[in-house]
């Protein structure tokens, strides 16, 4: 059996907050419970979204919370060659094509899918006259992608109907998240992807890309999102505060409680490493079956 390997892949668009700590802890516990490795990747692919200093702050915050990763950190900003090699492979196989459509045009004409407008196939058979290429899209066959998510259960997505041909290289020249993720997960030898349920709808696209590129398919588990009192996802956009390093044990206790692993009373006041050690031994994704949202404890 291949060795288990998990990962945490934050985007450095801000510091860690309690919601991103939950994803870090969930992926860490799943990997360590299985005796596996846990890797760290910084998804700094999108320069306009990178906040100076955020990546360093994330690394420090993980350390303060006792979340020690294995090996070197992988930085997506340094992986351009690998992404372009994958694009070349897809292009050589005739699987991608240039697209002239703007977001505004698509929003006006296309039906809404699971993640934005469903691409209506406008440029699938060639660019319209007098229009230049902007993005590159992957030609999606009319197949259903089925997979079993270790937390959210059996999933099925008819990719052509839910998303349509999707972007692998953006109009600004940057490689799309979906492509970078599958290239890096394969490069890092990741066997289990544990992340927030907001990325569940992306998974079928990632599995499809893995098949197109001949890459192995990891196991998937999508963790519940932390939501505020009004049910809104807690995140940088909703003003979630950076974690206070002085309250690391308390932060972990809250996250573990949300993961249905409330630490026992005798661990009150225990340091992060002790809390995590206990949680690694008790990790049980079945306790979260079907849970996609959780109020901040």
Q: What residue ranges bind ligand GLU (CB under 6 A)? A: 9-11, 43, 181, 195, 199
| H or E element, residue 147 | strand 144-149
Residue pair 185/27 in contact by the 8 Å Cβ criterion: no
For the CA atoms of 139, 145, 150, 152, the dihedral, rounded to the nearest 10 degrees, stands at 90
Q: Considering the complex, state which of residue 79 and residue 195 has its C-beta at the smaller distance from ligand GLU.
A: 195
Q: Considering the complex, state which of residue 10 and residue 263 has its C-beta at the smaller distance from ligand GLU.
A: 10
Q: Considering the complex, state which of residue 119 and residue 177 has its C-beta at the smaller distance from ligand GLU.
A: 177
Q: Considering the complex, state which of residue 115 and residue 250 has its C-beta at the smaller distance from ligand GLU.
A: 115
Q: Which residue has the tokens 């002790």?
A: 274
Within 8 A by CB and 6+ apart from 221, the residues are 26, 30, 149, 150, 151, 152, 192, 193, 194, 285
| H or E element, residue 253 | helix 248-258
CB of 40 to ligand GLU, least distance (A): 11
CB of 56 to ligand GLU, least distance (A): 16
CB of 49 to ligand GLU, least distance (A): 10
CB of 157 to ligand GLU, least distance (A): 16
Q: Considering the complex, state which of residue 10 and residue 224 has its C-beta at the smaller distance from ligand GLU.
A: 10
Map residue 18 onto helix, strand or coil.
Answer: helix
Q: Which residue is nearest to ligand GLU (CB)?
A: 43
CB of 115 to ligand GLU, least distance (A): 13
CA gyration radius, the chain: 20
């Amino acid at each position: 059996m291949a060795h288990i390997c998990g990962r945490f892949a934050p985007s450095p668009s801000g510091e860690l907050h309690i919601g991103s700590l939950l994803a870090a802890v969930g992926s860490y516990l799943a990997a360590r419970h299985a005796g596996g490795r846990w890797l760290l990747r910084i998804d700094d692919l999108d320069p306009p979204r990178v906040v100076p200093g955020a990546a360093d702050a994330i690394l420090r915050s993980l350390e303060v919370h006792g979340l020690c990763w294995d090996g070197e950190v992988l930085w997506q900003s340094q992986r351009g060659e690998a992404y372009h090699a994958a694009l070349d492979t897809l292009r050589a196989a005739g699987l991608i094509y240039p697209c002239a459509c703007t977001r505004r045009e698509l929003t006006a004409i296309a039906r809404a899918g699971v993640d934005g407008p469903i691409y209506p196939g406008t440029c699938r058979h060639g660019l319209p006259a007098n229009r230049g290429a902007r993005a590159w899209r992957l030609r999606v066959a009319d197949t259903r992608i089925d997979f079993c998510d270790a937390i959210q259960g059996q999933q099925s997505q008819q990719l052509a109907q839910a998303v349509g041909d999707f972007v692998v290289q953006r109009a600004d020249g940057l490689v799309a998240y979906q492509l970078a993720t599958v290239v890096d997960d394969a490069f890092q030898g990741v066997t289990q992807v544990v992340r927030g349920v907001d990325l569940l709808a992306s998974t079928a696209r990632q599995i499809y890309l893995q098949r197109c590129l001949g890459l192995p398919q990891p196991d998937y588990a999508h963790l519940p999102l932390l939501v505020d009192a009004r049910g809104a996802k807690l995140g940088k956009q909703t003003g979630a505060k950076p974690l206070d390093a002085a309250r690391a044990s308390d932060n972990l206790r809250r996250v573990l409680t949300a993961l249905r692993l409330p630490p026992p009373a005798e661990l009150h006041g225990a340091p992060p490493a002790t809390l995590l050690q206990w949680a690694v031994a008790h990790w049980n994704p079945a306790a979260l079956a079907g849970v996609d949202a959780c109020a901040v404890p």
